[in-house]
Amino acid sequence: MQEDFTSPTYGWQFKSDSNAHYHYDGQRLSIDRSHQTDRFATYSHIAINPKTDYKIEALVKQTQGDNAGSYGIHWGSHFESRSTFSFIINSSGSFKIYSSWGSRIKEFTAWRKSAAIQGKGQNNKMTIHKRKETIFFSINEKEVAEIRASKVHFQGGRIGTVLNGDIGISVDYFHVLQDKPAINELADQSQIIKEKLPYPINTEAEELMPIVSYDGKTFYFTRNEHDEQAQEIWKSTLEDEQWGAPIKLGFPLNTLGHNNVMGISTDNAKLILSNTYSEDGLSLTHNGFSVSNWDGEKWSIPEKIEISSYMNSSNSAETSLSATGKSMILSIKTGYNEGMNDLYLSTARSYSKSWSGARTLGKVVNSFGNEITPFLAADGKTLYFSSEGHSGYGYQDIFMSRMLDERGYEWSEPINLGPEINTSKWDGYFTIPAQGNWAYMVSANDSLAQLDIYRVKLPEQLKPDPVVLIKGKVLDAVTKEPLQAQLYFESLPNGRRQNSIKSKASDGSYQIILPYGKHYGYYTQLEGYLSTHGNIDLQQKENYQEITRDIYLSPLSEGSFISLNNVYFAQGSYEILEASHPELDRLIRLMRSSETMEIEIGGHTERRGSARLNKILSQDRADAVKAYIVQAGIHEKRIKTKGYGSSKPVTDGKTELERKQNRRVEYTILSL
């Protein structure tokens, strides 16, 4: 940072009352606070790494007021918590070094005289220089104090000048020197397109925190009508490939205070919200997280998300919900941070509604500065976030990192999304739907440094891995009425559960995300109905696609039958493959829970080949399934078998897919 104030470029802002007057004259910054006695500060966002050497230098002089006022440099500041470090002088020839946290003051040096200080109307060059384990303080090239660097614990990334009392000052320059690593970015930025969303999404107010549903059809964002006490949630829907006029949501999603959507479930029936709510939903409490559910007509009063041993000393907390709904990335400040807000992982507990304690993503992702606005993409492993600590173009840039293991312990080195996306100011709140064509983000990129929403077309290298969106309806096989059933998706052959979702009671619809790279089996669970099974082979990676699959459930009654779609045999053989075990184990559990139920297992083949051999093969396969069930302790008298050969096809068998559907094993309920 080399600010000489001829044409200020570092987004200087001013923190105090309306009685301060300041201007740039092409050579310096002047601030007049005559007749005021409280503290005033200018600040810019410069992330200084406290663990490495740095140098802060400013040329300042008092222009107005008496000798009782003071002025100087503050650094490592976080104004929301009123936390700062300050090095100040006065025109009577004294200096002081101290830190503040709210109303608490800690003096590193009390007021101390120094002959190096020039009086009113004369320049004073103030320098803070960290070298190794010591911070040295100088005035006009004369060292006046030193403190151990370990005593200085940064609380924020703001830095600037500070005034106390009835004075005016001018600042000729403000320099910050620190070596930073080269920016880790994609070399080719030519494919990137960034566009500001038009009215009525962006208005004269500030728009921030965009969240797009996984299917790309619903758009939530927060609008701040220049009132820090009222941030409200708005919603827009996609109309002819354009976002329609947004509507402001009502109670209970919007109430007094800051209201924000931070996550959406894959079926759009669950919203993750910032803060926690009172039982009546009328007021916000502390800065945790809540969940609201859609019942087909309205959103429920948000309920607190219970995170084990949750703590956050920051005034902000943000999160991103994974597509599986099993994990969240948190941006919070605990006692174990690398710097300010860091990113953490919390996972849903299978045995309760609570979540595990937050576990840090580690030093590769987290820096000495703020890591905020996390977004975990639909693939479950590509993470976008905003950071001031990693090398970038502004004081808060957007980065991407990929999970390298299945549990989130290892992450790739963050990549800066580059100068076509990041600006010299503030950038964050990156979000991208499952299709991945357009991402959305927030930039303070206009002359007023106002936050607005942009959309971005990314090159392939910066996109998440492609996924598949599975959708459809669960219906009664007899009446065709919608059913609210639980759907489970597991990887084959190990039967490890990957995801689950409940279809909506109103219309039986469901929607879920599955990444490529696995062969998936799925099954249903609903009291009074037989479990329906199927599979989707996504082992070969392709582009994003949507698959519609309606599921029909047969009532649990005599004569009902179900195809065991996830039972596999070696080609031309009755040897049961390992991938069949999860399906057959569920049938075993059903027969154990219904102790009097008797079934027939029927084997079926396609029409090609010898009818006699097909009939033998189908009988052998039915017998093999029976043997598997019997060895698990089910009495053999409860199971009959029959080989039907190719006599009962369910399709014409003209394509390979149809022939595959004819090759099947079914079970029919003979008695309950």
Opening angle at CA 355, ends 351 and 357, nearest 5: 120
pLDDT for 364 beyond 80 = yes
Q: Do residues 523 and 533 make contact, with C-beta atoms less than 8 angstroms apart? A: yes
If residue 631 lies in a helix (H) or strand (E), which one and from where to where? none
Q: Judging by beta carbons within 10 Å of its beta carbon (0-12, 13-18, 19+), is residue 211 exposed, middle or buried?
A: buried
Sheet holding 533-538, edge to edge: 496-502, 486-492, 518-525, 533-538
* CA separation for the pair 599, 584 (Å, rounded): 13
* CA separation for the pair 456, 439 (Å, rounded): 5
pLDDT reported for residue 35: 61
Domain boundaries, the chain: 2-177, 193-462, 466-554, 557-672
| Structure letter (DSSP) for residue 646 | T
Say what angle helices 611-630 and 581-593 make with each other, to 10 degrees.
60
pLDDT for 447 beyond 60 = no
CATH class, domain 193-462, is mainly beta
* CA separation for the pair 254, 259 (Å, rounded): 6
3-state secondary structure 264-296: ECCCCCEEEEECCECCCCCCECCCCEEEEEECC
pLDDT reported for residue 152: 80
pLDDT for 570 beyond 80 = yes
The residue written with tokens 């009685």 in the block is 19
* CA separation for the pair 403, 405 (Å, rounded): 6
Percentage of the chain beyond pLDDT 90 is 55
Q: Which residue has the higher pLDDT, 45 or 314?
A: 314
Strand partners, 94: 113
Please tell me whether the overall predicted TM-score, pTM, comes out greater than 0.85 for this model.
no
pLDDT band at 438 (very low <50, low <70, confident <90, very high): very high
Q: Do residues 549 and 472 make contact, with C-beta atoms less than 8 angstroms apart? A: yes
| Structure letter (DSSP) for residue 256 | S
Residue 513 CB coordination number (10 Å): 24
Count of all residues that appear for the chain in the document: 672
CATH number for the domain whose boundaries are 466-554: 2.60.40.2190
Least confident piece of the model among 218-232, 258-272, 454-468, 597-611: 218-232
What lies within 8 Å, CB to CB, of 228 at 6+ separation is none
Q: Do residues 613 and 572 make contact, with C-beta atoms less than 8 angstroms apart? A: no
pLDDT reported for residue 36: 60
Structure tokens at 117: 């200080």
Q: Which residue has the higher pLDDT, 285 or 280?
A: 280
Q: Do residues 624 and 574 make contact, with C-beta atoms less than 8 angstroms apart? A: yes
Region 86-97 average pLDDT: 92
Which backbone phi and psi does 436 adopt, to 5 degrees?
80, 10
pLDDT reported for residue 493: 85
Structure tokens at 112: 């101390």
Region 321-339 average pLDDT: 86
* CA separation for the pair 415, 400 (Å, rounded): 5
Cα Rg for the chain, rounded, in angstroms?
A: 32
Strands (E) across 199-332 are located at: 206-212, 218-224, 230-239, 242-243, 247-248, 257-258, 261-264, 270-274, 289-293, 303-304, 318-321, 327-332
Instruction: Produce one character per residue of 421-440: b if its CB has 16 or more CB atoms within 10 Å, e if not.
Output: bbbbbbbbbbbbbbbbeebb
Opening angle at CA 559, ends 555 and 563, nearest 5: 75
Q: What is the DSSP string of 542-580?
A: -S-EEEE--EEE-BSSTT-EEE-TT--B-TTS-PBPGGG
pLDDT band at 9 (very low <50, low <70, confident <90, very high): low
* CA separation for the pair 151, 31 (Å, rounded): 31
* CA separation for the pair 176, 48 (Å, rounded): 9
Instruction: Produce one character per residue of 567-595: b if its CB has 16 or more CB atoms within 10 Å, e if not.
Output: bbbeeeebebeebbbbbbebbbebbeeee
pLDDT reported for residue 215: 94
* CA separation for the pair 599, 338 (Å, rounded): 61
Share the mean pLDDT of the chain.
88
The residue written with tokens 């002819």 in the block is 240
pLDDT for 20 beyond 70 = no
CA separation, residue 585 to residues 180, 495, 525, 579, 580 (Å): 57, 10, 14, 11, 9
Q: Which residue has the higher pLDDT, 67 or 347?
A: 347
Region 517-530 average pLDDT: 92
* CA separation for the pair 63, 533 (Å, rounded): 81
pLDDT for 8 beyond 60 = no
* CA separation for the pair 608, 169 (Å, rounded): 94
| Structure letter (DSSP) for residue 661 | H
**Domain 2-177 belongs to what architecture?**
Sandwich (2.60)
Q: Do residues 393 and 387 make contact, with C-beta atoms less than 8 angstroms apart? A: no
Region 627-637 average pLDDT: 95
Which backbone phi and psi does 630 adopt, to 5 degrees?
-65, -40
pLDDT for 10 beyond 60 = no
Q: Which residue has the higher pLDDT, 225 or 192?
A: 192
Region 125-138 average pLDDT: 93
* CA separation for the pair 364, 493 (Å, rounded): 34
Q: Do residues 72 and 89 make contact, with C-beta atoms less than 8 angstroms apart? A: yes
What lies within 8 Å, CB to CB, of 407 at 6+ separation is none
Q: Which residue has the higher pLDDT, 368 or 642?
A: 642
Beta-sheet pairing, 218-224 with 206-212: antiparallel
pLDDT for 635 beyond 90 = yes
pLDDT reported for residue 273: 94
Examine residue 210 and say whether the peptide bond preceding it is cis (omega within 30 degrees of 0).
Answer: no
What lies within 8 Å, CB to CB, of 260 at 6+ separation is 209, 222, 231, 233, 273, 274, 275
Examine residue 433 and say whether the peptide bond preceding it is cis (omega within 30 degrees of 0).
Answer: no
Grouping H, G, I as helix, E, B as strand and the rest as coil, residue 657 is helix
pLDDT for 5 beyond 60 = yes
Q: Do residues 484 and 476 make contact, with C-beta atoms less than 8 angstroms apart? A: no
Which backbone phi and psi does 617 adopt, to 5 degrees?
-60, -40
Taking domain 557-672, whether its CATH number is 1.10.150.120 is answered by no
